[in-house]
Amino acid sequence: MNLSEGVQLVSFGILTFLMLGAALGVVLSPSVVYSAFLLGLTFSSMAGLYLLLNADFVAAAQILVYVGAVNVLILFGVMLVNKRQDYRKETGLLLRQLLTAVVCFGLFALLGAVTVITPWQIAEGVTRVDSSVIALAKHLFSDYLLPFEVASVLLLMAMIGAIVLARRDLLMEDPETGMPAETELALPERPRETVVSE
């Protein structure tokens, strides 16, 4: 084992430990804010693992999309809502926790068995790609152009729907019809300056 393989192995161990510890913290932390911050650490550790696999574009997308957008959105949602609710014990909680533990252990055993059984040898004659950005861009703008555009339209529709749902509480209902008043959707008109003729 040379120096570069040793550095990669140590980096893999540190990133794996960080990712698994932060993921457990997300699930087990009683504070929602701490869970959101630990989720950001989990996403960042995954980006580091992608860098170890020479997937630089996927690592950058992981940082930009998940850490920079999704996790920040979760933090804003948690901090802006801040709804305090009294804790009440629900019936059947122990049974649900036991079923969840059995399902999680089963998935962990299945993934562990697949990891042990699968041969992970690198095939002979595989050419290394210097950068994955060029190969991804060729596929994205040729083979997968239509799904990419459809996904952008769906995201635009979701954003418009979120804006409409967020503005719903600002709409005043008409007492006669019970429907939202149309005047509430209009922006207030700016007062016009009167021109005095001399």
| Tokens linked to 19 | 């990712």
Phi, psi of 129 (to 5 degrees): -95, 130
User: Looking at the domain assignment, is residue 115 inside a domain?
Assistant: no
Q: Is 171:180 a contact under the CB 8 Å cutoff?
A: yes
The residue among 122 and 15 whose pLDDT is bigger is 15
pLDDT of residue 187: 47
Q: How many domains does the chain have?
A: 1
Question: If pLDDT is split at 50, 70 and 90, which confidence band does 197 have?
Answer: low
Alpha carbon distance 45, 66 (integer Å): 12
pLDDT of residue 160: 86
User: Looking at the domain assignment, is residue 55 inside a domain?
Assistant: yes
Cβ atoms < 10 Å from Cβ of 55: 17
* CA-based nearest residue to 181, from 189, 172, 190: 172
Cα 102 from chain centre: 26
**Residue pLDDT, tens place only, 40-90:** 999 999 999 999 888 888 888 889 888 888 888 887 777 776 666 666 677
User: CATH number, domain at 56?
Assistant: 1.20.120.1200
Phi, psi of 180 (to 5 degrees): -65, 140
User: Looking at the domain assignment, is residue 38 inside a domain?
Assistant: yes
Q: What is the DSSP letter of 195?
A: P
pLDDT of residue 54: 82
All residues at 6 or more sequence positions from 148 whose CB lies less than 8 Å from its CB, including other chains? 140, 141
User: Looking at the domain assignment, is residue 12 inside a domain?
Assistant: yes
User: Looking at the domain assignment, is residue 173 inside a domain?
Assistant: no
Residues of the chain above pLDDT 70, percent: 73
Domain holding 39, by residue range, is 7-82
Cβ atoms < 10 Å from Cβ of 181: 13
pTM above 0.85, yes or no: no
Cβ atoms < 10 Å from Cβ of 58: 18
User: Looking at the domain assignment, is residue 75 inside a domain?
Assistant: yes
pLDDT of residue 178: 59
Cβ atoms < 10 Å from Cβ of 189: 6
Helix (H, G, I), strand (E, B) or coil at 30: coil
User: Looking at the domain assignment, is residue 165 inside a domain?
Assistant: no
User: Looking at the domain assignment, is residue 146 inside a domain?
Assistant: no
